[in-house]
Amino acid sequence: MIERRVMKRIPINRAARLSFGEMNGTHPCVVRDISALGACISTPYYIFAHEFVLSFDGHSGAFFCRVVWRKQTLCGVSFLLRRRSPKPANDSSGTMNVVRLGRPILGRRGRL
């Protein structure tokens, strides 16, 4: 068989949990192998969702995943960038990182 993956996967066979957006709770799975770009996951059931969150050790490491392929109870996923809800334009609760032509400008909280 010809290997078509960009990065080599490392076999880990480690227990993990899946979270689906609209469903309560988490569901068990085993991560068979993993790379920086994706993983192979085994579950006791067929995964119908196209996207979900994969977590290890009680959510200490969470990955947003998109299913790339499925075969019975195995699926290959690619890791997505974490989704963030956009902040309103007038939200000043965070720090301001504004630089104009390489010079910092003063914000409400002093020099940045």
How many CB atoms are located within 10 Å of the residue 95 CB? 9
Whether 110 is in a domain gets the answer no
> Structural domain of residue 51, as residue ranges?
10-79
CATH code: domain of residue 30: 2.40.10.220
Whether 67 is in a domain gets the answer yes
CA distance readout (Å), 12 to 21, 50, 61, 65, 103:
26, 23, 15, 18, 48
Q: pLDDT band at residue 104, thresholds of 50, 70 and 90?
A: very low
Q: How many domains does the chain have?
A: 1
pLDDT one-digit tens code per residue, 6-62: 778 899 999 999 998 877 888 999 999 999 999 999 999 998 899 999 998 765 678
Whether 37 is in a domain gets the answer yes
pTM: 0.66
Whether 56 is in a domain gets the answer yes
Whether 5 is in a domain gets the answer no
